[in-house]
Amino acid sequence: MPYRVKVHFEEQYTELTVSNGHYPYSDIGGKKLEKLDVNPGDMYEISVPLISGAGTIVVSATDGAAKLRFRYAIPNDCDDYGNIEVPKTEAASQSDVDKLTEEIQAIKQQIAAPRE
């Protein structure tokens, strides 16, 4: 059974294709999602076939300078309502968390230091 997914775009992209990694998807209105220009706020709704409970969406595009590729595992990367966002939100790395912790500790020490 297919899974209905709403693909939301947060940035402007050109030459955008939404595919399964091999073939482009069409939105529910029949528009082929290949070599499109999209703007922030644009959204396309697609039906993703699930094989053994899992499907794939690959978004390939350029942002003016670089060629980008975002891969989504469906339904795992969707929110509770079947939405995904492009670009893909990524978790912070442990080194980012450690650096932020150090900065917070330094600020706490500055606040706690006696003032003259």
Task: Give the integer Cα–Cα distance in Å for 92 and 36.
Answer: 30
Rounding to the nearest 10 degrees, give the CA dihedral for residues 22, 28, 32, 34. Answer: -60
Determine the average pLDDT of the residues in 71-95.
87
Query: What's the rounded Cα separation, in Å, for the pair 7 and 79?
Result: 11
CA distance 108 to 104: 6
The residue whose two tokens read 């978790």 is 91
Q: Taking the model in full, what pTM does it have?
A: 0.76
Residue 92 pLDDT: 63
The predicted-structure confidence for 21-41, as pLDDT tens digits, reads as follows 999 999 999 999 999 999 999
Q: Which tokens hold the place of 15?
A: 């030459």
With bands split at pLDDT 50, 70 and 90, how would you rate the model's confidence at 109?
Answer: confident
What pLDDT, in 10s, does the model give residues 38-77?
A: 999 999 999 999 999 999 999 999 988 889 999 999 999 9
Residue 14 to residue 69: CA distance in whole angstroms: 12
CA distance 47 to 66: 28
Assign 99 a pLDDT band (cuts: 50, 70, 90). confident
Average pLDDT across the chain, whole number: 91
CA distance 69 to 57: 10
